[in-house]
Chain A
Amino acid sequence: MSAIAMSVPAGRRTGWRKLIGFNMLTGIVLGIGGWYLGHFIGDHLSGAGLAYYSAEAGENDIAIFLGYLLGVVGFLVGLGFANYPIRRLLGHPPALAEHESEAEGLFRYFTLNTDHKVVAKQYMVGIGLFFFVAGLNAMLIRTELLQPNVHVFGANQYLTLVGLHGAMMMGTMTSGILGPFAQWAVPLMIGSRRMAFPRIESFTFWLLMAGEVILLTTIFFGGFQTGWTGYQPLGAQGTAGYDAYIGFFALVGLSMCLFGFNLIATITVMRGRGMTWSRLPIFVWAAYATAWLMLLAAPMLIAALLMGASDRTLQTAFYIPGQGGSAYLFQNLFWVFGHPEVYILALPGMGIVLELMVVFARKPLWGYRLAVAGMLGISFLSWFVWQHHLFVSGINADLRPFYMLSTELISLPTGFIFLCAMGTLWRGRIRFTVPMLFCLGWMFNFLWGGISGVFVSDVPSDVTTHGSFFVMAHFHYTIMGGLIFAFFAAIYYWVPKMYGYNLNERLGKIHFWTLFIFFNSTFAPLFALGFMGMPRRVVTYNAAWQGLNDWVSISAYCIGLSMLVFLFNVVWSLAIKREPAPINPWNSKSIEWTLPTPVPVHDFDKLPVFDADPYPYGVEPVPAGAPAYAPAGGTA
């Protein structure tokens, strides 16, 4: 296997000639070409005389969809995704690696690369970029809401910002933790040198990036007015900006689905010798539980969106009630995807928190099997709750008690995760490092996310809170307070190993405390605003609420400043100061910290053999052949 890493083609190009070949630049050029070709064909398929040419907007949806399609195909071909299948069809022997040699330097990051560590870093930078773009949108939204009657943006621009913020955050952060950290850590943790399908691994990343760019093109086509949920028939009414929403989310869905499939395959078949299911680190379990959701939920989304695209181009009427369609159909399909989706966001964060708490409480994970049961339980139950988004919609009203029960039941496995985190702290030796602070911040925030979830899951209470700022505050507590805090915990924890340089701890602590304080100061008042009756996604509001809204906006700007501290830390520590990180700065007992820094392309000189559980804290040195587990219930 290690020979793979050395399969560097002889006579590689140097200097500017490197740019000629299959890489991002070629991808962009072919992508733009593909867009124009698709648009050209689309225009000739459907002239202005046809009904689906939207004369008011001067846009042709068929041309736009074909442009997106061929643009993405061109981009991927330019990156070299067609090469391997074509080579195989022509009878060439299989090649196992692409662009893996370290000799290629930074250039590696702009190619189809099959090294899981490179893809992880691609994900980290790519996701980081769009996370900041989407965060900037949130700042603009809050700017508009400073005043109820003085407008910085027009109503249409404002809704486009709301939609861009929501859709981009959802689409990007779906891979927020798994993209960088599962790609990087899961193969190492299970003792594998790669993911099961390395080309698919790279494919999911570049597909996501293509999707993000498509979403941003909505700005040129009048934006979209539907928010990230894209409800129909409002979507059918929208200008061509809604096509960008469909294109984006369909690509994100495809990327998610393949990513989940790749993770399941990797964890199932690529585990090293001795790495039994009961020895998997808990983060791998979290990735596994999430992967099933990604694999199975995303097709729902893609189907729902393609039907919407077909309504807009082929004159079908899936969602158009006046012509026999149903507005409920989209809501139903969207939330069958949408509710598992929110657990796709939450579960990896739980995995990170448990994995890291072990290191910084310096104890084995408390209740390993309970934590696994919690993750699988959440994963399973999340399929049975989606109509709680539609409690007042009138759809299946008689089933509301069932959805209320199933939704509240999901707090049981979530409670398991909390219990395991709390148990891990019990009599530990807690070190308040930056990653640990973020984990504790996660517990605090997610607790309020869960408590507020009880209100929205309860039908009588949801009659008030549905569609209000309360719901908005609730899911920001679970996603931003949960996922994003875990995301930063993981960054501070793994970056020294991934990049080989320490992140500045003082700046890290400033980042944590400012983020924690201003996060709560931004979103806690939103619960109150929702309770007072402020609906979501409004461009104006009751003048009596201006004080609270201004407080929230100013706090939101402070979150922005806190993020700038983080950016500065990254640039300062990784690009300017460059203090080399020790092999194992956290004294972690997880396997990735035994590898050299930075981790070599082939990961392991010799594949590891696992003979004990992943958390040998308090029992060192681990005697060979010791049982993986001490009997439960022995102490404490």
Chain B
Amino acid sequence: MEETHHWRNIVVLWLVASLIMTPIVIFVIGPGLPPGNGSVEASGQVTDNTVLLATATPVALAVLVYIAYACWAFRERTPEVVLDGPAIRGNSSVQFWWLIVTTTLVLFLAGYGTVRLLADGSGGGQGPNPIAVPSAPNGGKPLVVQVVAQQWQFNYRFPGYGGFETNQIELPENTLVQFNVTSLDVIHSFWAYELGVKADANPGVNNVAYVTTKGPLLFHVRCAELCGVWHGYMFDQGRVVPKAQFAAWIVQQKTKFAPATKTLPPYSKTYFPQPLRRGG
């Protein structure tokens, strides 16, 4: 009798807590989850984070409600006398259903994550031969931007515009962008936070990530892999701008860097990394 009583209390408390918290998570916390709606991929990650958090909420609440209830209901009421609890050594049906429920949840999350990942690559680095390529908003080919990381800055090359290199980045709106990320020395990681893009920059490797931009946006680029002394200072900002403004910017940049472009090695997916020298 007593245990039915406890079970009922726990289930009721859990249901109430979950019914309150899950909608709060989905409708209040969810839209504020990172990385925001700066790009199609970033919005996808927000959805993904919301699904994960909404799934985790009832699970976490089940454990918390149970522990809190157990600590209250099963506390020793006569501490001066040492008494044992009942010798319960398990319960096959509880164990069975726990296994079923947790397995279902895990398979759901793994399946959901896989579907989301394979749909558009989710802005993550996919190595030299990407399999999850999102389709461009207006058809056509993606805008290729090469991110060349080195200690301690990012440079950007635009192979579609003569392969010039600049230390600034602007992207046109509503465009599929293909980042070819590589490094000249050690491992860095190109993290364009608001765009939902993160791809490690490995020396001698071309790591491809896709992003579909939305409207105008200021985004932050930070290095997300420890790359030496000035790792903390390896950041810059970029902008997503209207297409006409981008066209003007790129012509201006191309002209500005034309003398330097002549001395650059020709555009390539990877570059022969610099010889290593000891530094502080």
Contact of A427 with B63 at beta-carbon distance under 8 Å, contacts A159-B229, A461-B48 already known: no
* Stretch from B101-109, B153-161, B166-174, B242-250 at the A interface: B101-109
| Closest chain B CB from A531 CB (angstroms) | 5
Q: B70 to chain A: which residues have CB within 8 Å?
A: 422, 425-426, 428, 430
Within 517-574 of A, Cβ neighbours of B (below 8 Å) are at 531-533, 535-542
B147 CB-CB contact with A under 8 Å: no
| Closest chain B CB from A221 CB (angstroms) | 12
Contact of A322 with B276 at beta-carbon distance under 8 Å, contacts A233-B203, A538-B232 already known: yes
Would B67 and A535 count as touching, CB distance under 8 A?
no
Would A463 and B89 count as touching, CB distance under 8 A?
no
Q: Which of A369, A392, A431 is most buried by chain B, counting CB atoms within 10 A of its CB?
A: A392
Q: B89 to chain A: which residues have CB within 8 Å?
A: 364-368, 629-630, 632
- A239 partner, pick from B35, B129, B224, B278, beta carbons under 8 A: B278
Report how far A416 CA is from B229 CA in the complex, Å.
43
Would A461 and B204 count as touching, CB distance under 8 A?
no
* Stretch from A182-190, A198-206, A396-404 at the B interface: A396-404
Report how far A320 CA is from B203 CA in the complex, Å.
9
In the complex, how many residues of chain A place their beta carbon closer than 8 angstroms to a beta carbon of chain B?
106
Please give me the residue from chain A that is nearest to B57 by CB atom. Answer: A451
Report how far A467 CA is from B197 CA in the complex, Å.
13
Would A467 and B122 count as touching, CB distance under 8 A?
no
Would A236 and B276 count as touching, CB distance under 8 A?
yes
Q: A93 to chain B: which residues have CB within 8 Å?
A: none
| Closest chain B CB from A314 CB (angstroms) | 15
Please give me the residue from chain A that is nearest to B230 by CB atom. Answer: A155
A432 CB-CB contact with B under 8 Å: yes
Q: A428 to chain B: which residues have CB within 8 Å?
A: 70, 74, 85
B142 CB-CB contact with A under 8 Å: no
Would B207 and A394 count as touching, CB distance under 8 A?
yes
Q: A321 to chain B: which residues have CB within 8 Å?
A: 202-205, 273
Would B85 and A458 count as touching, CB distance under 8 A?
no
Would A237 and B85 count as touching, CB distance under 8 A?
no
Would A427 and B85 count as touching, CB distance under 8 A?
yes
- A635 partner, pick from B66, B86, B276, B280, beta carbons under 8 A: B86
Within 142-171 of A, Cβ neighbours of B (below 8 Å) are at 155-156, 159
A193 CB-CB contact with B under 8 Å: no
Would B224 and A458 count as touching, CB distance under 8 A?
no
Please give me the residue from chain A that is nearest to B186 by CB atom. Answer: A234
Q: A635 to chain B: which residues have CB within 8 Å?
A: 86, 88, 91
Within 207-239 of B, Cβ neighbours of A (below 8 Å) are at 207-209, 220, 222-233
Would B34 and A430 count as touching, CB distance under 8 A?
no
Q: B274 to chain A: which residues have CB within 8 Å?
A: 322
Report how far A429 CA is from B79 CA in the complex, Å.
9
A94 CB-CB contact with B under 8 Å: no
- A56 partner, pick from B34, B116, B279, beta carbons under 8 A: B279
Q: Mark A440-458, 1 if CB is under 8 A from B, else 0.
A: 1001100110010011001
Would B189 and A467 count as touching, CB distance under 8 A?
yes
Report how far A377 CA is from B222 CA in the complex, Å.
38
- B109 partner, pick from A408, A532, A629, beta carbons under 8 A: A408
Please give me the residue from chain A that is nearest to B228 by CB atom. Answer: A225
- A393 partner, pick from B52, B88, B200, beta carbons under 8 A: B200
| Closest chain B CB from A313 CB (angstroms) | 13
Would B222 and A397 count as touching, CB distance under 8 A?
no
Would A327 and B102 count as touching, CB distance under 8 A?
no
Would A327 and B202 count as touching, CB distance under 8 A?
yes
Q: Which residues of B contact A (CB under 8 A)?
A: 2-3, 6, 33-35, 41, 44-45, 48-49, 52, 55-56, 59-60, 63-64, 66-67, 70-71, 74-76, 79, 82-95, 98-99, 102-103, 106, 109-110, 113-114, 116-118, 122-131, 181, 185-187, 189, 191, 193, 196-200, 202-209, 220, 222-233, 272-280
User: Top 6 A-B pairs ranked by shortest CB distance?
Assistant: A467-B224, A394-B207, A538-B232, A618-B87, A460-B122, A321-B204
A-B contacts, 23 of them at CB < 8 A, read A231-B225, A370-B90, A404-B110, A408-B109, A415-B98, A426-B74, A428-B85, A459-B113, A460-B45, A460-B116, A460-B117, A460-B123, A461-B113, A463-B196, A464-B45, A466-B224, A467-B225, A533-B34, A533-B220, A617-B84, A618-B88, A619-B87, A632-B89
Question: Given known contacts A155-B232, A533-B193, what 13 new A-B pairs fall within 8 Å (CB)?
Answer: A155-B230, A368-B90, A395-B127, A408-B109, A430-B76, A432-B75, A440-B71, A460-B124, A463-B198, A535-B222, A618-B86, A633-B91, A635-B88
